[in-house]
Amino acid sequence: MLRRGLIAAAAATLLASAAQAQETVKVGLILPMTGPSASTGKQIDAAVKLYQAVNGTTVAGKKVEVILKDDTGVADITKRLAQELVVNDKVAFLAGFGLTPLALAVAPIATQARVPEIVMAAGTSTITEASPFIARTSFTLAQSSVPMADWSIKNGIKKVVTLVSDYGPGIDAEKSFAEKFKAEGGTIAESLRVPLRNPDFAPFLQKAADAKPDALFVFVPSGFGAQFVKQFVERGLDKSGIKLIATGDVTDDDQLNGMGDVMIGVINTHNYSAAHDSPANKAFVEAFKKANNGMRPNFMAVGGYDGMHLVYEALKKTGGATDGEKLMAAIKGMAWESPRGPISIDPDTRDIIQNIYVRKVDKQNGELYNVEFATIPNVKDPVKAAKKN
């Protein structure tokens, strides 16, 4: 009796561990943890860890395991890592993608393997069109640039020079700003594009100053804003009477406080501010800082946090099933309250719909923040909206 009992117990243990092994859902998280965009990797990694600390690691009876890989910001490496994660680790999701070329490099793999690709950072409009398995929790540059153009016209700015990083999101920012600004009667004096790698802004700032615009509209990706502002000040543009306006990528919460008081008063538009006034955001910022030696979350962190939410809620909806089509069906139309405000995934485009806030850099409790003062609610990506009409 005793022996039979022991054998039964041993068999049960074996079965249980086999079931447990099956019940792990793996998420391949590919981020630039080193290289020029390392701050984006650091922010998203911290946010994903916080999401799991707050919500636990078990979803629909399965254990969610995140496998973090560093692509150093190089697309060939992103692609190889994605392939390995799909083939060797059998991940149910691919997630992360700190820059547009990195997100695009993985799109064919997502399509072929039928694995959802959750874009937590990159912001070029076309990304979601590269695979039916892509969904985005970050933003598009058109989402923030069109409201910036609108605000500029309404506030007496008539002539603008644009200065953007010369790749996908920069071109989107330049074009969508200019289109709206010109449609409302404004003039674009110069459209300047600066190399993404090792940018030297000085010659472009000289051109901008020579054109004597009312304002300089700027996009550089997260992590590059401080260097831009340093050169802006070194060339004396802060005292030239040319107003600095930007997407919130420039006045990045990760760097803003170190940029100095020269930033006070800079108007910019974006999807997230660490100073966003809501109970959900206060709890998020406090927990994030506590877990990360006081580091302030930026818009990349919130993209990572919401990307993890999408993974968890999709799994809940499928009852833990990891079939790619079922997960994508669950993702489409999902809506929730993010630390940034209310958001949803457009069921037609799989892109994010979110509020865009007009903000002014100001001091709060001795620190520089983007203080929101106007809200454009439920903004769909304007580039895709225009294509539809």
- Decide if residue 31 touches ligand VNL (CB under 6 A): no
Number of shown-chain residues binding ligand VNL (CB under 6 A): 15
Which one among 25, 28, 31, 40 touches ligand VNL, defined by CB under 6 A? 40
Find tokens 């800082």 and name the residue.
289
The rounded distance, in Å, linking the Cα atoms of 75 and 96 is: 13
- Decide if residue 174 touches ligand VNL (CB under 6 A): no
User: Within its chain, how far is the Cα of 354 from the centroid?
Assistant: 12
Contact 71, 81 (CB under 8 A): yes
**Which 269-288 positions form the footprint of ligand VNL (CB under 6 A)?**
none
The rounded distance, in Å, linking the Cα atoms of 143 and 319 is: 34
Per-residue binding string, ligand VNL, 85-104, x by CB under 6 A, is: -------------xxx----
Total residue count of the chain as it appears in this document: 389
- Decide if residue 169 touches ligand VNL (CB under 6 A): yes
Per-residue binding string, ligand VNL, 206-245, x by CB under 6 A, is: ---------------xxx----------------------
Instruction: Tell me the closest approach of the beta carbon of residue 355 to ligand VNL, in angstroms.
Output: 18
* 335 backbone φψ class: left, alpha, beta (φ>0; ψ -120 to 50): beta
Residue nearer to ligand VNL on the CB measure, 75 or 153 = 75
Point out the residue whose Cβ comes nearest to ligand VNL: 221
The rounded distance, in Å, linking the Cα atoms of 202 and 87 is: 46
- Decide if residue 251 touches ligand VNL (CB under 6 A): no
The beta-strand segments (E) located in the chain are 24-31, 58-59, 62-70, 93-96, 117-119, 134-136, 159-165, 187-194, 215-219, 243-247, 267-270, 335-338, 341-345, 352-364, 367-379
Instruction: Tell me the closest approach of the beta carbon of residue 223 to ligand VNL, in angstroms.
Output: 6
> Which of 45, 89, 50, 96 is closest to 73 using CA atoms?
96
Instruction: Tell me the closest approach of the beta carbon of residue 138 to ligand VNL, in angstroms.
Output: 8
Which one among 71, 150, 214, 249 touches ligand VNL, defined by CB under 6 A? 249
Residue nearer to ligand VNL on the CB measure, 47 or 330 = 47
- Decide if residue 122 touches ligand VNL (CB under 6 A): yes
Instruction: Tell me the closest approach of the beta carbon of residue 173 to ligand VNL, in angstroms.
Output: 9
Residue nearer to ligand VNL on the CB measure, 103 or 149 = 103
> Which of 45, 32, 46, 41 is closest to 289 using CA atoms?
46
Instruction: Tell me the closest approach of the beta carbon of residue 374 to ligand VNL, in angstroms.
Output: 21
Strand-pair category, 215-219 with 243-247:
parallel
Other beta carbons within 10 angstroms of residue 80's beta carbon come to 14
Instruction: Tell me the closest approach of the beta carbon of residue 16 to ligand VNL, in angstroms.
Output: 44
Which one among 43, 78, 124, 143 touches ligand VNL, defined by CB under 6 A? 124
- Decide if residue 37 touches ligand VNL (CB under 6 A): yes
The rounded distance, in Å, linking the Cα atoms of 249 and 169 is: 11
Which one among 28, 41, 96, 123 touches ligand VNL, defined by CB under 6 A? 123
C-alpha distances in Å from residue 73, one per residue of 19, 34, 323: 37, 8, 29
- Decide if residue 176 touches ligand VNL (CB under 6 A): no
Residue nearer to ligand VNL on the CB measure, 98 or 341 = 98
Buried b (16+ CB within 10 A) or exposed e, 348-386: ebbbbbbbbbbbbbbeeeeebbbbbeeebeebbbbbbee
Q: Which amino acid is at 367?
A: E
Q: Which amino acid is at 384?
A: K
Instruction: Tell me the closest approach of the beta carbon of residue 234 to ligand VNL, in angstroms.
Output: 23
Residue nearer to ligand VNL on the CB measure, 222 or 318 = 222
Binding residues for ligand VNL (CB under 6 A): 37, 40, 98-100, 121-124, 168-169, 221-223, 249
